[in-house]
Structure 1
């Protein structure tokens, strides 16, 4: 009788231990599946409301086809292999889990565990897969943070305040050949550096001056902010490219419908510098990098209450404003902004 009681006690203890292991294993399984699905299908994006416009980049030198196609093929193969492995691993884990549910416990489904402890092959595979996923996730995150963005690209942007920009210097363009025999904007090869691009702009526009252009860009910057606060596209439309103008007009209409006003006050510009430039057959562009401090808050038009931001706490921002003009034109337009 005493031996029977001891046997029942041991069985009860083992049953409790196996149930605890089952709960832990099940929890780990669902954590892994959730992380796997999130990694595969969720792309976190961050964008500001004032983004818009075109994108520009300086053409890069092309390499021979023989040197470029092979590495691309290897990269593609590696990515496909990794993706297939993860799909296979996820499918195997899912199959093991379903099997364990059908056949009465994880220990029985995977062979009874190691040494009767209840930790079976399924748990080992699950833990190993979870560790592998974490390693891949953090490695990829570290890699993406190191290659955050390329200086030659830009997009949409913001708006802030001050009056009347001066008219940019009227260029005295010449259509003759560049030194070396290539007409500017027709057969000239694309510039390799910002300095090369600026030199090409100077060759086609004898009046171009970097410092004067930065002054012009800063005045446009302030006037666009004023138009943004007034929600009035008519005062700044002549300064904007068609894409950015259309996006701003749509945004102003939405803000009026919501009864909201975005206030941008006490703007203090800290830095204005040319970050990128480019020349193609049909167009020239310059990207200006702005850093500034300001008060940025949104009001409810009917109650004058702050619904976003602060009237007293200034914020810092850094944005890239790109101006473009057709080859042969003197009319620079703000074509895109990115933060």
Structure 2
């Protein structure tokens, strides 16, 4: 009788460990499905001249930008009253390290389950019968479904709202070429006075942009993402500053070491707004908020096997891109910041 009891206890412990691994695997699968890829991998890095460590002005496309996480520009103390933000350490990778509701939810669920595993209660209690096992599997499935639903809700919540009519398909230019601000615009045009409707910022001289400049920004977005997906470094070098080319090359080197390639296809700008445009020390700068869609997937370089993402379903991203040029020269990307 004692031997039978011990055998039953061993089987229960083994089953608990297996089911704990199942819960962890489900969380890992969610994390892999939602990891950041594309250019920059969802980070904020680069330089914006003397405004590198200040927050870009808000726009209808994106209300705010994350502080720089990596830059060659020193973070010098600024004068009181400037619109600045301290740099923030890049958060660690992985779904369970993410701040906010989802990190807390998954942390709580796993914490409860693993505590129950150790103490013989919680998720893993009552495993001595078939009904207990089926009930636990049902709980695991429900947890996974709830997580996916909440993540979908958060993604839709993060999409910007659009006042004053349907969404535009390209860069919003009405507020930048001497005309009145676009209907419903509450971003850069109202952030600071100026007939061109953009925030000239705390430093530098105001810069007026032309329609050809916005065409260049849209074209550069597509060219940079496409070149990244093909590991075309000469094309990237033409469109990035030396600092940005160094960061992006590190990403491509890491992918190559792992035998992977990040394919990016069907890049399309959905909406764009100018945040700031200025000239300092003989260089022009323009920070633009852009919301775009693309097909984004990481595949095995040798076999083409899908590792992450989906090349059949487009995803959306909203970012602040800063461009720089010498007067008369071509624009190059000098910074990318997440919203």
Tell me the TM-score normalised to structure 2 length.
0.41
**Rg (Cα) greater in structure:** 1
Greater fraction helix: 1
